[in-house]
């Protein structure tokens, strides 16, 4: 059975609504999990929610205008339909042009430094400039020590390793005061960024389907640790020990959560395969990381 909104006549009707040639409706080469995405000529992008992810696109219809009012660089919503035409929500946004920035080999790699610094500045604007919004969920992190115990019980790690990890989380917890929750993008990974290949500067942040109110440190767990120092330069001029500990806490927590999951042979996201996150933590911490990171090992 075809998905809602996939019929050519429906796509053509949306194109005509927005002054685009129906013949210029082209699916993007790599489709996401939550939406089917089409180019409407050179100036617009059509995003059609897969039914099981309709709530995410509804949330984006609220979050994107608020982020733009705060000054965040993200494409404007040209139209939103909550399912009247297609039976599932769709959104038309202005098209931003650029490429996904590559990941730095380490904190000193300058190829995309400006783009990642710009990302930090944009995230600071978001966290400081947008308050509570209807329909945006609150996310609170669970206790990673429960996951550590479960990994030991299931035989993924031994009891000595479990105790070592628990002690590490205990040390990091000392840096995690109760913090005010903020609106976070929730997936500021390279695949959701566009940068100008000529200038190396950030053009836009895309895809707000994972937006939530959460500890802002969680924002930096969607990037490998080797990219985080550059982002923090733009976010707050650098990274002190408290922020580094909070960010590392989330990276370790999520890395352990992925260990007992199945393989992902085709996925290309930097953290898609079960062991990637843990290896990225190791890669960063054993490669002479800048302070204050070295002191948290």
Distance CA 270, CA 53 (A): 22
Residue 34, preceding peptide bond in cis (omega within 30° of 0): no
Q: Are 31 and 6 in contact (CB under 8 A)?
A: no
pLDDT of residue 3: 60
To which CATH superfamily is domain 8-94 assigned? Phosphorylase Kinase; domain 1 (3.30.200.20)
Q: Using one digit for the tens of pLDDT, what is the confidence trace for 131-183?
A: 999 999 999 999 999 999 999 999 999 999 999 999 999 999 999 878 889 99
Least Cα distance to 92 among 149, 145, 20 occurs for 20
pLDDT of residue 2: 55
Distance CA 172, CA 188 (A): 23
Q: Using one digit for the tens of pLDDT, what is the confidence trace for 121-130?
A: 999 999 999 9
**No. of helices (H) and no. of strands (E), the chain:** 8, 9
Distance CA 194, CA 99 (A): 5
Q: Using one digit for the tens of pLDDT, what is the confidence trace for 173-230?
A: 999 878 889 999 999 999 999 999 999 999 999 999 999 999 999 999 999 999 999 9
pLDDT of residue 268: 84
Q: Using one digit for the tens of pLDDT, what is the confidence trace for 48-63?
A: 999 999 999 999 999 9
pLDDT of residue 171: 96
Distance CA 123, CA 128 (A): 8
Q: Is the pLDDT of residue 38 over 50?
A: yes
Distance CA 134, CA 48 (A): 21
Q: Using one digit for the tens of pLDDT, what is the confidence trace for 74-97?
A: 999 999 999 999 999 999 999 999
- Residue spans of the domains in the chain: they are 8-94, 113-296
DSSP assignment, residue 38?
E
pLDDT of residue 156: 97
pLDDT band at 1 (very low <50, low <70, confident <90, very high): very low
Q: Are 39 and 120 in contact (CB under 8 A)?
A: no
The predicted model gives 246-271 an average pLDDT of 94
Q: Using one digit for the tens of pLDDT, what is the confidence trace for 280-290?
A: 999 999 998 99
Q: Are 16 and 22 in contact (CB under 8 A)?
A: yes
For residue 146, what is the enclosing H or E element? Answer: helix 144-153
195 to 22, 96, 191, 205, 269: CA distances (angstroms) = 28, 10, 11, 9, 18
CATH architecture group of domain 113-296: Alpha-Beta Complex (3.90)
Least Cα distance to 108 among 258, 270, 227 occurs for 227
């Amino acid at each position: 059975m075809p998905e809602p909104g996939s019929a050519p006549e429906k796509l053509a009707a949306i194109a005509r609504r927005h002054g685009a040639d129906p013949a210029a409706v082209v699916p993007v080469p790599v489709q996401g999990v939550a939406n089917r995405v089409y180019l409407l000529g050179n100036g617009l992008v059509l995003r059609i929610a897969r039914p099981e992810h309709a709530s995410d696109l509804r949330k984006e219809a609220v979050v994107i205008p608020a982020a733009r009012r705060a000054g965040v660089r993200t494409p404007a919503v040209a139209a939103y339909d909550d399912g009247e035409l297609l039976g599932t929500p769709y959104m038309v946004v202005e098209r931003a042009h650029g490429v996904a920035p590559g990941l730095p080999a380490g904190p000193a790699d300058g190829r995309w430094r400006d783009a990642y610094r710009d990302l930090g500045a944009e995230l600071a604007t978001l966290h400081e400039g947008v308050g509570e919004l209807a329909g945006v969920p609150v996310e609170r992190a669970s206790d990673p020590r429960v996951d550590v115990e479960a990994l030991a019980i299931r035989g993924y790690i031994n009891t000595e390793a479990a105790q070592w990890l628990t002690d590490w989380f205990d040390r990091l917890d000392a840096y995690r005061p109760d913090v005010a929750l903020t609106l976070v993008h929730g997936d500021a990974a390279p695949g959701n960024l566009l940068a100008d290949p000529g200038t190396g500067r950030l053009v836009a942040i895309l895809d707000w389907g994972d937006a939530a109110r959460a500890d802002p440190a969680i924002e930096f767990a969607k990037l490998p640790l080797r990219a985080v120092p550059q982002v923090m330069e733009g976010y707050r001029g650098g990274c002190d020990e408290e922020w580094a500990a909070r960010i590392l806490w989330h990276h370790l927590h999520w890395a352990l959560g992925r260990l007992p999951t199945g393989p992902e042979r085709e996925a290309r996201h930097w953290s898609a395969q079960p062991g990637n996150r843990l290896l990225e933590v190791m890669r960063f911490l054993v490669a002479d990381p800048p302070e204050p990171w070295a002191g948290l090992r």
